[in-house]
Amino acid sequence: MLRKKRFLIGGLVVILAIGYLAYAGFTQFATYYYTVSEVLAQGNSIYNENVQVKGQVAPGSIEQQSGGLKIKFTIVDMEKQKSLPVAYQGAVPDTFKAGADVVVEGYLDGGGIFQARTIMPQCASRYVPVPK
């Protein structure tokens, strides 16, 4: 009888530990992405919070500095016509270009500039060959 109780308590502790680790891992890596308008509507309450923002790279806004490792650009919310300046340091993905949809991960600093840690260009929903 005592052996069954120990086995039951040990199994319960293991199950609870696995459940806690799964919950902690999920909440750490589960992030919702905002639109540019939603980020700007948050005001200073979102400063220095790790968030993802989806927008479109504004044509003519890409400025590369320092051999291409530092880049500044603006993303826009096409529905609401709001814009957000973005600064990024690192290797830029090949599919990153003006007019492309992009999700940037990072934080909004006190100056209103989004400091991106990651740039994730969105792929086109279908392949369209280039006319010859």
Per-domain residue ranges of the chain = 1-30, 33-121
Strand partners of residue 91: none
Rounded distance between C-alpha atoms, residue 51 and residue 32, angstroms: 7
Name the nearest CA neighbour of 46 among 88, 103, 108. 108
Mean pLDDT of 104-117: 92
Rounded distance between C-alpha atoms, residue 76 and residue 79, angstroms: 9
Name the nearest CA neighbour of 56 among 72, 87, 79, 90. 79
Rounded distance between C-alpha atoms, residue 55 and residue 1, angstroms: 62
Q: Which uninterrupted H or E stretch holds 105?
A: strand 101-108
Query: pLDDT digits over 35-54, tens only?
Result: 999 988 888 888 888 889 99
53 in Cβ contact with 37 (< 8 Å): no
The domain made up of 33-121 is a member of CATH 1.20.1440.60: no
**According to the model, what pLDDT value does residue 75 have?**
95
Residue 20 tokens, joined: 């806690």
Rounded distance between C-alpha atoms, residue 79 and residue 59, angstroms: 16
Query: pLDDT digits over 1-23, tens only?
Result: 788 888 889 889 999 999 888 88
Higher per-residue confidence, 21 vs 85: 85
**According to the model, what pLDDT value does residue 130 have?**
66
